[in-house]
Amino acid sequence: MPTGEHQPHAPSAATTGTPDWLAHLPAERRTVPLDLTRRGTLVAAWLAYWEADPARPVLHQAGRWVRAAELEERTRQVAGRLQGAGLQPGDRVIVSADSSIELVVAHVAALRAGLVVVPANTGYRSEEFAHLVADSQPAAAIVDADDRAAYCRAADENLLILGVDVDLADRAARSLDEVSGDSPALIGYTSGTTGRPKGAVLSHANLLASVEALLTAWRWTADDRLVLALPLFHMHGLGVGLHGTLAAGASAVLLERFDVDAVLDAARDHQATLFFGVPTMYTRLVESPRAAELARLRLCVSGSAPLPADLHRRFEAVSGQRVLERYGMTETVMLVSNPYDGERRPGTVGFPLPGVELRLDERGEVLVRGPNVFGGYRNRPEANAEAFDADGFFRTGDLASIDADGYVTLVGRAKELIISGGYNVYPREVEDVLRRHPAIRDAAVVGTPDPQWGEVVTAYVESDDEVDAVALKAFVGEHLADYKRPRLVHTVDTLPRNALGKVQKHLLSPG
């Protein structure tokens, strides 16, 4: 089983057809070293910037900037409080709170003290917290709401429950910032669509390697300012948005939640250069009469769910921004990205990021290897044995194709692959066609067991009016082979989604 210590590997024949990421950089940057963990740990990278420029603004919220010196001081103070409460390096701490400066301080303080952060969705309820507590066996929980405190306490009456401000007696911090790159930093729980969520253990080096790849690929520098409206319990907001900002020596405007006008106001008032969002955010932004204001940004990035190609084109038409779509997951942080320079191709997720080896197996499943890839799931030896192949490549569970130019296109999940009458049907392909129908806002395609066909293609379509199934089948048949046409069609007001807008297919039912 992989241990979490990942060394660079020479490209293998299995990666042919996937171009070297250096080819997509300007000529003067093609000598960027491939040692993505050269700065050691996340906290070491952050502290270097804070010490070099203590007056530099880092985070903004509620009308004020927190500068580097204050962030270092406050995180040191909170780390001392956590240590004073008896927490030891390696202890797990559940963190579940809305985006705030206090949350960032608590998160960074925990990492500086050598603790392992377990981010928890703020929408979780009792049963979900009970699973996290039982599986991660935390020493403490940091929460900002009474109900979440109650859920954690019900799961373990001896658990230390703290508010997001960690209001404990001050104690002098000791032995801070001493973790190694191999030390665990974060346990990210998978979405659990096919069973109980598993805890992916990510080291400081894993998180740093992914961030370093993004700094290079996206030209992310200390001059950038991000409008960060993503939740900080998810890898997109935390592992990319926050960690990347701090590692670049850049700055971010924190928004407690996404709001179209709040995003546009922040971009304007703080001369922002970056915005990271999910497709549902871009859907709302593209409908705003102020969408053209986004032209002032240097880069807009989309992830966490597929960005429909037509939305990509509509957004460019109204804002002038050609969204950069990328692909990652809890176990690996970021893996693949459309190029910063060159064509950002709608419907694709681009090329492997620096340090990432990617190949497809005989089914088209994406396998990856690199310093960003986690070492395994916590206490899941059987799952770990299945998760990695003999060469140490992680099986992502995602199905993809690679075109002649090397662009990766995701076509579905391996466990979502529909086999109907002996033919393979990739849900993403059918969904993309369904979204072109003028009466359909969004669509999700799954397989329904059938005694004759094995499975039949079943579509759940989001629409204000009942959609005629016969007409819809004919519409799909104009674009795809007959065996890909939905045999069953269910019209719903709203598809079930998680906090980042990803459709939860396991929650779909005919009723």
pLDDT digit string (tens) for 100-122? 999 999 999 999 999 999 999 88
Task: Identify the CATH number of the domain in which residue 448 sits.
Answer: 3.30.300.30
DSSP output for 470-511: HHHHHHHHTTS-GGGS-SEEEEESS--B-TTS-B-GGG----
Residue 164 located in a structural domain: no
Predicted TM-score (pTM) of this structure: 0.82
Higher pLDDT, 12 or 461: 461
Looking at residue 1, what is its pLDDT? 33
- Total count of domains within the chain: 1
Print the domain residue range for 465. 417-507
CA atoms in the 13 A half-sphere facing the CB of 434: 29
Q: At what angle do helices 42-52 and 204-217 cross, to 10 degrees?
A: 60
Is the distance from CB of 311 to CB of 282 less than 8 angstroms? yes
Two tokens, residue 160? 């230390």
What residues are paired with 497 via a beta bridge?
503
| Mean pLDDT (whole number) for 180-202 | 84
Asked whether the beta carbons of 45 and 250 are under 8 A apart, the reply is no
What backbone torsions phi and psi does residue 390 show, to the nearest 5 degrees?
A: -65, -25
CA 147, CA 308: separation in Å to the nearest integer? 36
d(CA 360, CA 494): 34
Average pLDDT of the chain, as a whole number: 89
Rounded CA-CA distance 38/230 in Å is 28
Is 35 inside a domain boundary?
no
pLDDT, tens digit, 9 for 90 and up, residues 286-314: 999 999 999 999 999 999 877 888 899 99
In a domain, 439, yes or no: yes
Does 465 map to a domain? yes
Does 452 fall in a domain? yes
> Which run of H or of E encompasses 313?
helix 309-319
Over residues 401-454, the pLDDT tens digits come to 999 888 999 987 777 778 787 677 878 888 988 999 999 999 999 988 876 677
Question: Whole-angstrom Cα distance, residue 223 to residue 219?
Answer: 10
Contact partners, residue 454, CB within 8 Å, separation at least 6: 419, 420, 421, 422
Where does the pLDDT of residue 482 fall: very low under 50, low under 70, confident under 90, or very high at 90 and above? confident
Beta bridge partners of 202: 186
